[in-house]
Structure 1
């Protein structure tokens, strides 16, 4: 007897999962431009070149640290210890200067320290298989504690004037801080790596499916390890800049900055689950967050309220994609007509 081997009715296709990110970088950039225009008219002094210079100085460290952390989040991991690395690097920099070492030697030593701190995070995550959230919460407290062990409550503030002046000076009479030029170079390099190289494609692959990435030949463990090392080095560089900008090495430098960095990344459209997002949105998110804080400072809003605003924006960055995905799912499930 013949057997009917024809396929039965095709199963209904599963609706694709809605993106878990905020709107694209271009939309976030539009929000930024709108806010800058509104604040420029509504807030006295916001549009001045002097204030613009201070704004760029404020956003420099956040944008700098956001570069490697964006790559880490794209892979589905997180590093919450970046601000503590800034603080520990600042403390070690101050201690070494107090011991009489020249800054030309101190800076590379501090960068090596950052690489070691990042490698500790990376090895715990990749070799022991521990979740990066738990690991970096632990090292957040550990590195900050070590910063206080190195300097205690003291501050070292007698750094060479030529170094501290460069950290806050502008290019000619433009009002654009000197630090913006090297930052733009690093942004361009990171953007090329993330968006135009096989390395960047492998990062997105890891964020979407780590197992699939391994089957395609990507060394997931080694890649993630080097990302954590890069985050440590860049955070240490941020510690050097923070110390020179404020002319003071302290153990509590950059406390809470990790929340601003993460908020900028999520506002910029990078999924907290990994696998999507771009650097343009992250830079726009960092500028938007800094601009909001700057405008509130100009109207004498207390610092506690600024922290509340940062927290609210961070919650919005996490919740909004879920609400958007739920709304799209509801619309897709509605019968036509």
Structure 2
């Protein structure tokens, strides 16, 4: 008497490598976002008075720089199936920390370094509660959002620190010599290379995808699930603090309400850029294109006289359409994959 081992199936996302390379490259959500970004830039440059001027593009990159920074680690966090809603408050706390220390007589460089350490500690705090205590990341980061913002407001109250070294404030808004590209693009490109390599070309990055697809399967495959999640939360806190320091220099002011609402813009861009809200799927180039798309669209509409409320409605509509469209596409694809084997089984053997 023989028995067969029971078989189990798991819903793991796999890329369709049976399709031609051009289809896997061009027929993707990320490519659609890049194409839409190109259309928005072209149309805006033709129809919006002044939008095509290089100076405006310079300001566009300066404005979206904090979102670009934080979107990098947020991509990793959400690919694991978690979320971090505290990044905007952490940026504000880092801004206030920098301002308070500079106001107390500390050199700016040392103050900025301590602000980055505060970001690492805040990210580790979130990661500890999620991985060791076992609390859901949504509840944890909603709590830390209020905690970090409360500390930031409590440190300075309603006052603002505006005395920063002129060298650093000028550098935050400076352009590369002979170009219209802001200097802040350089540190962003350095971080971009680091995160692309880490996310797409290392075992740690493959572990992030595995955790997002199935925590149990990832664990049995040898991935340290808790350590992976802890590291991505620490990265989110550190980069959010870096964005907060830049935010301070960009506007020359450290206030308790700096970067308020920034986390919503980051999450909207990450989801619009193709990262699944359920984890297990994401590409950094799609996220970067989505950040630039939202920034370009907002700038074009603002220059056309559209109010901020309408801009928020349009941005929210894009986000909803992207989430619903992705879910609908996945549902249709799953239906097709279940119908095809049935047709093969029903066909007569040759």
TM-score (norm 2): 0.87
Tell me, yes or no, if structure 1 residue 317 matches structure 2 residue 327: no
Residue 169 to residue 96, structure 1, CA distance change in 2 (3 Å): same
Q: Aligned ranges for residues 1-337 of structure 1 at < 5 Å?
A: 23-328=28-333
Which residue does 2:346 correspond to in 1? none
Deviations 1:2-33 (A, max 9, x none): x9x899xxx9x9999899xx943222111111
Deviations 1:239-271 (A, max 9, x none): 000000000001111111111111111111111
Contact 1:194 1:200 in 2 (8 A): yes
- 1:183 Cα shift? 0.4
**Aligned mates of 1:326, 1:213 — CA distance in 2:** 24
**Aligned mates of 2:140, 2:313 — CA distance in 1:** 26
Gaps of 5+ in 2: 16-26, 344-350
Residue 189 to residue 15, structure 1, CA distance change in 2 (3 Å): closer
Gaps of 5+ in 1: none
**Aligned mates of 1:193, 1:47 — CA distance in 2:** 35
Contact 1:260 1:310 in 2 (8 A): no
**Aligned mates of 2:229, 2:12 — CA distance in 1:** 28
Residue 147 to residue 6, structure 1, CA distance change in 2 (3 Å): closer
- 1:307 Cα shift? 2.6
Deviations 1:70-95 (A, max 9, x none): 01111111101000001111111111
- 243-252 or 137-146, larger mean C-alpha shift: 137-146
Aligned length: 327
Contact 1:263 1:313 in 2 (8 A): no
Quick one: higher RCO (CA 8 Å, sep 6+), 1 or 2? 1
- 1:303 Cα shift? 2.2
**Aligned mates of 1:210, 1:28 — CA distance in 2:** 29
Give RMSD over aligned pairs.
2.4
Contact 1:23 1:269 in 2 (8 A): no
Q: Secondary structure at the match of 1:167?
A: helix
Q: Secondary structure at the match of 2:237?
A: helix
